Every structure is written in structure tokens, then in C-alpha cells.
Amino acid sequence: MNWELVDRYAKSLIKEAGHKIRVSFFNRLDIDTKTNANDLVTNIDREIEQFFISRIKSDFPDHKILGEEGFGDTVETLAGVTWHLDPIDGTMNFVHQKMNFAISLGIYLDGVGILGYIYDVVRDDFYNAKKGEGAYLNDERLPQLGVVPLSDAIVGINARWVAPNRFIDNEKMIGLVLECRGTRSYGSAAIEQAFVATGRLDAYISMRLSPWDIAGGLVIAQEVGAVVTNLNGDAPHLLGQESFIVARPGLHNDILSNYIRLKK
């Protein structure tokens, strides 16, 4: 596989998709709901996914594509090359704020992340990484993450995981919120991972993310030394929804050991 070529191709596709999204701001948005009244999808999520898929299928016909909106393949194994695509991560923000959303893409070979991209379209911030070659923000290399104790850390977490919920002991999460320096929630798992990779956040936790939410960010975060696992401490399997944490080294273990108690 000529990964240099795939990398150049993916970057230009993502930039073109970002342009389409910016142009879409001038047109009326069609908004639908999916699994519940707050799970939004728009015509633009669908159009952007279809744009990626038609191009990738014609230029890399033997690659598989797992896209959130379901226009890609049914992916049951990660053998071969798989593109994990979220055309708009943070659709609620896209609809309500017209910012704080991103295109997220990870390209994997036999389950191993080779290329990762997060494009924060409105800020025009392009994060990317290639396995073993470092991570970049707008072509500037990101430094390796150092150690930060919880008392000095900003933790990315949605308040719903601090309220009683079916996934996790929320009393433990209250402890985490009280012990850290501060919390933030941006509403885009991709942007939150990019923020951990750049040190703007020190950790990000979620109870339930899909492969397309994490595949791009995982490659980027690992290239700067962040630790990425599910909340059992295992590597994400990228074949379905699971819990998620990305954090600086040291902090990852502290949070998992002392503040996470999963419900059975």
C-alpha cells in the first residue's frame, strides 16, 4: 500500500468536504432525528458521507468504509483496509452553533490505525497523524505529552456521566470532578480527542462511542503519547460501541484505577 498517496488523497478529500460544509451554511438545513429526539442528523451529514464514499469506492475499490450514516459497508472484521468515517462529529453543535463539529477519519490496516484525521471545519484546524511519524496541527508537529497530576488537569466529560446513569458509579465521577482542576464538554468526541492531543484537555471520557467517533483521534492521540483504552483498560476494538478514555500517561491510570467503577 502506498500510504503517502492515500494520505495525500485523504487530506484533499477532507478539505473538499470541509468546503462543502461551509458552503452549506448558506442553504436551508433538513434536520431529522435518529434513535431519539436529541440524536440529530441532517441532509449535510448524509451528503458528506456519500461524497466520501463515492470517491473512495471509485479510487480504492478494495477498501472497506464504515460510515456513521450507513452508506458504506457492513464491516464485520477489520481485515484489509478500513476507512472509519464520521462526516460530521458533533451534529448537535453543527445544527445549533454552526461550530464545534469536525470531520473524523481513521484509515486502518488489519485493525491497526495507520492514518488519522480530524478537521475542525469552522476553525480551519486540521489535525493529522501517521503511525510512527508523529501528529500535526496545521502542518506543525505536536509535542509529546508530559505528565500532569489530576489536581492540575482539565478533564473533558459530559455532565450526563456525572448524573446517575446506567453505565457507571456516578458518585466516583463526582469525586473525579471535585479532584481535578476543571471540567469541559465540547460536544464532539473528535474535537475532544484533538484537544487532548494538543494538551488543551488532559483527559476525555465517554461511556459510549462508536468506531467512527474514535478511529481518527486514536491515531493522532497515540502519536503524542496519550493512552487510549475503553474503561476496562483494553484497547478499543473498533467494531461497535464501547466506553472510552484518552488521557496523558499517568493520568490515564490514575483515573481508571481510582475514579471509574463500571456497573455490571
User: Which parts of this chain interact with ligand IPD (CB under 6 A)?
Assistant: 68, 86, 89-91, 158, 187-189, 206, 208-209, 213
131: buried, middle or exposed (CB in 10 Å: 19+, 13-18, 0-12)?
middle
Q: How far is the CB of 17 from Ca ion (least distance, A)?
A: 13
Q: How many CA atoms lie within 13 A of 168 on its CB side?
A: 28
How far apart are the two ends of the chain, measured CA to CA in Å?
42
206 touches, from Ca ion, ligand IPD, none (C-beta below 5 to 8 Å by class): ligand IPD
Closest approach of ligand IPD to the CB of residue 101, in Å = 7
- CB contact at 8 A, 17 and 52: yes
Minimum CB–partner distance for residue 237 and ligand IPD (Å): 17
192 binds Ca ion (CB under 5 A): no
What is the bridge-based pairing of β-strands 182-184 and 154-156?
parallel
Residue number with the smallest Cβ distance to Ca ion: 89
Give the torsion through C-alpha atoms of 61, 63, 67, 73, to 10 deg: 70
How many angstroms separate the CA atoms of 162 and 176, rounded? 9
Q: Which is nearer to ligand IPD, 18 or 90 (CB)?
A: 90
Angstrom distance (rounded) from CA 67 to CA 91: 14
Q: 231 is written with which cell numbers?
A: 474503561
By CB under 5 A, residue 242 contacts Ca ion: no
Choosing from 68, 192, 223, 242, the residue that interacts with Ca ion (CB under 5 A) is 68
> DSSP states of 196-254 as a string?
HHHTSSSEEEEEEE-HHHHHHHHHHHHHTT-EEE-TTSPPP-SSS-EEEEEE-TTHHHH
For residue 209, the partner it binds in ligand IPD, Ca ion, none, with Cβ less than 5 to 8 A by kind, is ligand IPD
Q: Which of ligand IPD, Ca ion, none does residue 243 bind (CB under 5 to 8 Å by kind)? A: none
Residue closest to ligand IPD (Cβ): 189
Residue (113 or 216) nearer to ligand IPD, CB = 216
- Among the listed ranges 84-92, 179-187, 224-232, 249-257, the one in contact with Ca ion (CB under 5 A) is 84-92
Look at residue 202 and give the partner it binds from Ca ion, ligand IPD, none, a contact being a CB closer than 5 to 8 Å depending on partner kind: none
Which residues here bind Ca ion, judged by CB under 5 A?
Answer: 68, 86, 88-89, 213
